[in-house]
Structure 1
């Protein structure tokens, strides 16, 4: 299947192939299975854990029913079952439930032929699992009495009386944040030091500060619970330290951060009254912290007057941010005793220092003030939980596209956002990033992708760069010369200015 097949006339730049099960790449299939199976098994475990906490009979009945339905779903995935049910007409289509992206999914599903769990477009099937089968946001009180054969084909949690707002990944996200407490304190302290007098600092100092916070946001993306289900606590800590380690700069394969700064600095230099940056979020917990610190830095130094954070509107890919996660993080920062619960005070390495505690005590009210005065804003849109490429945004969600196109910069965090920006297609790695994001660049959206490489799609490399990477990983004992694209050790910071922005050769100096 080509990008054009998937997104129709929104694909003006060629016929690159969407990644799917027909790819003759066993590594792709193995990773797909390794991502989805633990996710579904984890949902069952969390439902079982939550069962003793409820008392009403209907709670228990629905809990048991949900466990059975999710287990049946997992069985179907393992058996590569069809996404359709020939015994019932149109059972693969999602019943209308009041949410605007239902019709988007149904239109896409009609165009996929006769898909099975492992024989369809990967990106779409992953999103189908989370959005269409497991979760539907909003109005948790709605209950639809669908026949048993259709139970798996509707949003399971939505169609209960008591479990519609249940986030089966909440415990994982909270524990991941608390296990990151020392990295949290290190980054909070760095932010506290970096932003002292930053509003009045010179051009070069602000450029360096912008690069520093962006790199911390970039490497914060390395710890993704959906892609690293078996990662150890020690490995997480090492990944989180990477953001402040200059030795990691050589692992950033493409670095357009200086050009992105020039874009924002130009708007400030011209005294543009409203300078807006949008950050399309990825993971909760530690990564959300460094993303919020990036937004706060932009406000503090005047590179933006407003920063919008765009989370998902329902639980998504295990660790993706939903609105509740933002509130949870701010609550943890305001009450650091939560972060350091169950810590042995005799283990100094696990305890915050006095300077770290002071930095945190200053950060929490600063962030609260920014959210209260509207400098930092949270906005959701149902488009972020659709299954297709962002190439369709101008057609499917024109209101959202118009909002993003008017922003001075839109920062897309993480692997799934990158895959959707590029149509999840197997572009040649030397394909220019603006070409790979198609109509987004064509229609003037200024996009910066911050992403550690954890899937096959990579664009924007220099000619010959892929060959060097392949030789390096093979020399290091990797079984695949392509492993550099998905092992999370490399990263990309890629900018497309769009037609409105011209080339990347922007050069701004203060007067």
Structure 2
């Protein structure tokens, strides 16, 4: 039997000067400080709603988070979770697994452990700080930022809703070539919508100010892998093989709320309206995550905001989308697995129910950087390693990553392509300036 090639090392804060190191040293403490400030600012509100109990809970949560920040900044060992939340046992098993990997080189700590693990762990501890402190246990510390991103992106939202409603008027008359062009346009809007990421900017403003449609042509050179033709083929072939009983299903594994979510919803509506798909399943996060990731509340809130907007085409989108959810052609779901530290190659083993569900899909669209890191194991891959190889046997269905580059991992480039950009732009992998539409067919 052929020997299995060893996987490259995980990205980690122990590589000084790396983006992982910079994130753990600077960005993560900044995010924790913002969370603490947010709780401080809401103290009066907690008092008005819950009296002294609310204020006590706020103090406890802040003390828990201050301790967490100190552990992180002083590179303390990562401690087991002590809460009773449903995923705690899985987290603690994973921590044991990391302990065994360290071969007796001490406990896994913030800078020595894989970046993906400690970053996910921080967000899980933020969740615990609130979840363990009723009556403020349902407070989303990131909610304001997500709402602000949506409101500050109003111009872009209006432009996209207007463009889309206009497109729907003539969609029945479009020939195949025109349909394909429109699909490619909306895929790119959804790709570049991924720039609006609040965990990347440590919560600073990252809204989409102008209409994204106008800049698509200029952005083409920055799409390093462009497999849009392959997506088109998958959808067209699925349609041809579509029998009475089988429906063409597309799944979108969501990333950020705000403008990016809107761009994903428009893409999903286009897939249905153009009859390229019969149903779309959206996968969000079951707890507040990575500052701006979409939860069920964000998903429903966005549709409600659109419905009640005093702009004709925005409210038309909102009303239609509410209808899609009611009739079941759109399905929103969340699963605990998306907020565990595992990369996706472990999904079949850790969350067999989710893996089996994804196998029913004709196409999986993974949005954003964190999903890409989990698809490829967040490792120091050579740039030209095939995407299929980096997926490490994760192949539930044909899948595609739509991602702007904001971390040190990228595969599937042409030989020399990464090195060439690196020579002129050392920050190319973390600036969000470059994007990919990277496809892998299922086995």
Query: Structures share a fold, TM > 0.5?
Result: yes
Aligned to 1:402: 356
Structure 1 residue 236: Cα displacement: 4.4
Residue 163 of structure 2 is aligned to residue 219 of structure 1: no
Task: Report which stretch shifted further, 381-390 or 68-77.
Answer: 68-77
Q: TM-score, normalised by structure 1?
A: 0.81
RMSD: 1.9
Counterpart check, 1:189 vs 2:162: yes
Q: What's 2:102 paired with? A: none
Deviation for aligned residue 1:192: 1.4
Does the CA-based 8 Å contact 1:12-1:438 persist in structure 2? no
How far off its partner does 1:74 sit? 1.2
- Relative to structure 1, the CA distance from residue 369 to residue 107 in structure 2 (aligned partners, 3 Å threshold; closer, same or farther) is same
Q: 1:110-509 alignment to 2 at 5 Å?
A: 110-113=96-99, 114-131=107-124, 133-135=125-127, 155-229=128-202, 231-232=204-205, 236-237=208-209, 241=212, 244-272=215-243, 273-336=246-309, 357-441=311-395, 444-473=396-425, 481=426, 483-499=427-443
Which range moves more in the overlay, 195-204 or 292-301? Answer: 195-204
* From 70, 76, 96, the counterpart of 1:75: 70
Q: Which of 88, 91, 94 is the aligned partner of 2:81?
A: 94
Tell me: CA distance 1:314–1:231, structure 2 relative to 1, closer, same or farther (3 Å): closer
Q: Is the 8 A contact 2:160 2:213 kept in 1?
A: no
Q: Is residue 46–residue 168 contact of structure 1 (8 Å, CA) maintained in 2?
A: yes
- Alignment check: 8 A CA contact 1:278 1:411 kept: yes
| Residues 193-252 of structure 1 deviation map (CA, whole Å, 9 limit, x = unaligned) | 22223245321111111111110000000110010136556x7426x7377521101100
**What is the rounded CA distance, in whole Å, between the counterparts of 1:271 and 1:408 in structure 2?**
11
What is the distance in 2 between the residues matched to 1:361 and 1:445? 34
SS in 2 for 1:195: helix
| 1:40 lines up with 2:35 in the alignment | no
Secondary structure, counterpart of 1:261 in structure 2:
helix
The SS at the match of 1:492 is strand
Q: How many residue pairs are counted as aligned between the two chains?
A: 429
TM-score by length of 2: 0.92
Measured after TM superposition, the shift of residue 30 of structure 1 is: 1.3
Match of 2:92 among 86, 89, 106: 106
The CA deviation at 1:492 is 0.6
Q: What are the superposed Cα offsets for residues 404-460 of structure 1, whole Å, 9 maximum, x if unpaired?
A: 12200011000000000000011100011111111113xx52111000000000001
